[in-house]
Amino acid sequence: MVLSTGLADVMRYNVRGPLAGGFMRSMLAPELIVITGPMCSGKTEELIRYMRQGEHAKLNMLVVKPSVDTRDGQALAIKSRNGHNLVAIDVPNAQAILEHVTPEHLWIGVDEAHFFDIELVAVVMQLVRMGKRVIVSGLDLDYREKPFEVLAQLMALAQEVQKLTAVCSKCRVRHASRSQRLTDDTSRIAVGDKEYEPRCLQCFVPPNGVAHSQHSSSIDTLSS
């Protein structure tokens, strides 16, 4: 019988017997897991999928998101694009996460981590050292193709990193790893799905720059 990874993990957790201790340790081991990628790559869906496993296993969990993220207009719900919801607590900053954590919480989910400042790194590591499993989701790069420092550091510290891709909105054939800003806004973060679209490396055009594909064609011209 073939089980999806998620269900298999849940069934392992529910195993009772000589091996149960080992499986439970693996499910409950304090770890940092980072889910990252460009806009529309399913980061929130993946965070929700992960947390659902904990829900099935009846683990005590907490999910937080920055209060600046008001895209869905619902202060207490993470709403993924496929319609699945998970109740989350809005926090004004990283330090405020600690006010909501209790000894009973085993898994802590953090959505839209790129909205937090660098203080999040210390808070997350404090939680991991308290024995929690922390699952962080957020953009790895800004619209200029520069890493969000908070995500870069968390990725380096993580035991597991999932880099997701979207479908490129321009060529629609390649995997998108960049977020193309569609407006002239020059602030680092613009809240809203209409501000961006996912692009592949070839179709992405950095602000005041040229697309990678144009770089490639000049190289082709030079070498021919």
Active site residues: 112
Nearest distance from residue 218's CB to Zn ion, in Å? Answer: 18
Nearest distance from residue 216's CB to Zn ion, in Å? Answer: 12
Residue 132 found at the interface with Zn ion (CB under 5 A): no
User: With respect to Zn ion, which residue has the nearer C-beta, 171 or 182?
Assistant: 171
Q: Write out the DSSP string of the chain.
A: ----HHHHHHHHHH--STTHHHHHHHHHS--EEEEEESTTS-HHHHHHHHHHHHHHTT--EEEEEETT--TTS-TTEEE-TTS-EEE-EEESSSHHHHHH--TT--EEEE-SGGGS-THHHHHHHHHHHTT-EEEEEEESB-TTSPBPHHHHHHHHH-SEEEE--EE-TTTSSSEE-EEEE-S---SS---SGGGEEEE-TTT---TTS--HHHHHHHHHHHH-
Residue 19 found at the interface with Zn ion (CB under 5 A): no
Nearest distance from residue 167's CB to Zn ion, in Å? Answer: 9
User: With respect to Zn ion, which residue has the nearer C-beta, 114 or 199?
Assistant: 199
The single residue listed with the structure tokens 């005590």 is: 60
Residue 200 found at the interface with Zn ion (CB under 5 A): yes
Q: What type of residue sits at position 94?
A: A
Number of residues that bind Zn ion (CB under 5 A): 6
Q: What type of residue sits at position 33?
A: I
Quickly count: other Cβ atoms within 10 Å of residue 198's Cβ. 23
Nearest distance from residue 179's CB to Zn ion, in Å? Answer: 13
Q: What type of residue sits at position 79?
A: K
Residue 91 found at the interface with Zn ion (CB under 5 A): no
Nearest distance from residue 164's CB to Zn ion, in Å? Answer: 16
User: With respect to Zn ion, which residue has the nearer C-beta, 108 or 203?
Assistant: 203
User: With respect to Zn ion, which residue has the nearer C-beta, 133 or 181?
Assistant: 181
In the shown chain, the binding pattern of residues 144 to 183 toward Zn ion, with x for contact by CB under 5 A and - for none, equals ------------------------x-xx--x---------
User: With respect to Zn ion, which residue has the nearer C-beta, 50 or 204?
Assistant: 204
Dist CA 214 CA 198 (whole Å) = 18
Residue 203 found at the interface with Zn ion (CB under 5 A): yes
Q: Which residues bind Zn ion (CB under 5 A)?
A: 168, 170-171, 174, 200, 203
